[in-house]
């Protein structure tokens, strides 16, 4: 009788194969979870309070901004939100800075954006990798723009 064919060797092999299958299933679950939340990076605190990154562009501009701006505290994040509204989430669409500023000024009431427009917001949003600018005065969303909805 060969060593590999003994009943105890077969049981040991079956046990190890079950462990491997469990590990594979765990890894597949993690990959599936990661795909549902794009660009999710582990945070030092271990907690992410707000990880819903689904955005609905079918509503009008004021309703869109009212719905999503509440969750955003900083001006650069609100800049990205305005850009996303104008581009309807399209990362290849370039939007002129003056259009972003016009929409900002139309919606800067206390209940919506609650702050004045500052061109510095665009630079900070670009530094954070949420937007890009291939031509001066024109901005487009970066693939990671939805990270603005993930709490720091």
**pLDDT tens-digit readout, 72-118:** 888 999 999 999 999 998 999 999 999 999 999 888 776 678 888 89
- Give residue 140's domain range: 61-149
pTM, to two decimals: 0.63
Cα 114 to Cα 44: distance, rounded to the nearest angstrom: 30
Cα 17 to Cα 20: distance, rounded to the nearest angstrom: 5
> How many folded domains does the chain comprise?
2
- 46 lies in a domain? no
Q: What number is the average pLDDT over the span 65-73?
A: 84
Judge whether 55 and 38 are in contact, CB under 8 Å: no
- 114 lies in a domain? yes
Does 89 share its domain with 32? Answer: no
Does 11 share its domain with 85? Answer: no
H or E segment and range at residue 95: strand 95-96
Does 25 share its domain with 83? Answer: no
Does 32 share its domain with 75? Answer: no
Does 18 share its domain with 66? Answer: no
Does 25 share its domain with 67? Answer: no
- 52 lies in a domain? no
């Amino acid at each position: 009788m060969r060593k590999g064919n003994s009943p105890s060797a077969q049981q040991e092999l079956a046990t190890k194969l079950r462990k491997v299958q469990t590990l594979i299933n765990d890894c597949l679950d993690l990959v599936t979870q990661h795909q549902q939340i794009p660009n999710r990076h582990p945070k030092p605190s271990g907690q992410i309070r707000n990880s819903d990154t689904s955005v609905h562009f079918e509503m009008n501009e004021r309703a869109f901004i009212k719905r999503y701006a509440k969750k955003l505290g900083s001006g650069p994040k609100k800049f990205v939100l305005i850009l996303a509204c104008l581009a309807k989430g399209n990362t290849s669409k370039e939007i002129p800075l003056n259009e972003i500023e016009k929409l900002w000024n139309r919606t800067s009431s206390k209940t919506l954006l609650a702050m004045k427009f500052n061109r510095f917001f665009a630079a900070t949003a670009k530094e954070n990798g949420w937007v890009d600018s291939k031509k001066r005065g024109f901005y487009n969303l970066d693939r990671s723009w939805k990270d603005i909805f993930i709490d720091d």
